[in-house]
Amino acid sequence: MAEFRLKITTPEKVFFDGMAERLIARTTEGDIGILAGHVDYVSNLPSGAMKIKQKGGGFRAAAIADGLLKVSKTEVSVLCSAIEWSDEIDVERAKRAEAEARKLLAEKLSERDEQIVKLKLSRALNRINVAEK
């Protein structure tokens, strides 16, 4: 199967920069599969799972926290606020973050603080879900 260059970047680092045969991601419009030669495409990526298949290997999953996907003829770029491989997620830490967020949501919070806590809860649940699949 043909390959394409895939670059995944966060504000802190380049997470992945290499060749891939396939990328599966959840966009705001639904799931999408990217293969070499895909038409130009741009989409927002909500928190969710992303799967990458490299030549000669199986799929490797990652938990992504909000981002942008850009497909061009020469490469696929993902810019995201955070991402980590599923096998590197500290599930116990994610479960503690979930419990803390649920506890905070039970309290009276300002609208802004409530939105922040909901984002933290969403990220924790995403990390747990991706790690446990």
| DSSP symbols for 92-129 | HHHHHHHHHHHHHHTS---HHHHHHHHHHHHHHHHHHH
- Does the pLDDT value for residue 1 go beyond 90? no
Rounded-to-integer distance, Cα 5 and Cα 59, Å:
16
CATH number for the domain spanning 35: value is: 2.60.15.10
Indicate whether 117 and 70 sit together in one domain.
no
pTM, entire model: 0.86
Residue 131: in which H helix or E strand, if any? Answer: helix 111-132
Indicate whether 55 and 16 sit together in one domain.
yes
Indicate whether 47 and 112 sit together in one domain.
no
Which domain covers residue 98, as residue numbers?
A: 89-132
- Does the pLDDT value for residue 109 go beyond 90? no
Helix (H, G, I), strand (E, B) or coil at 11: coil
Q: What is the pLDDT of residues 22-78, one digit of tens each?
A: 999 999 999 999 999 999 999 999 999 999 999 988 899 999 998 999 999 889 999
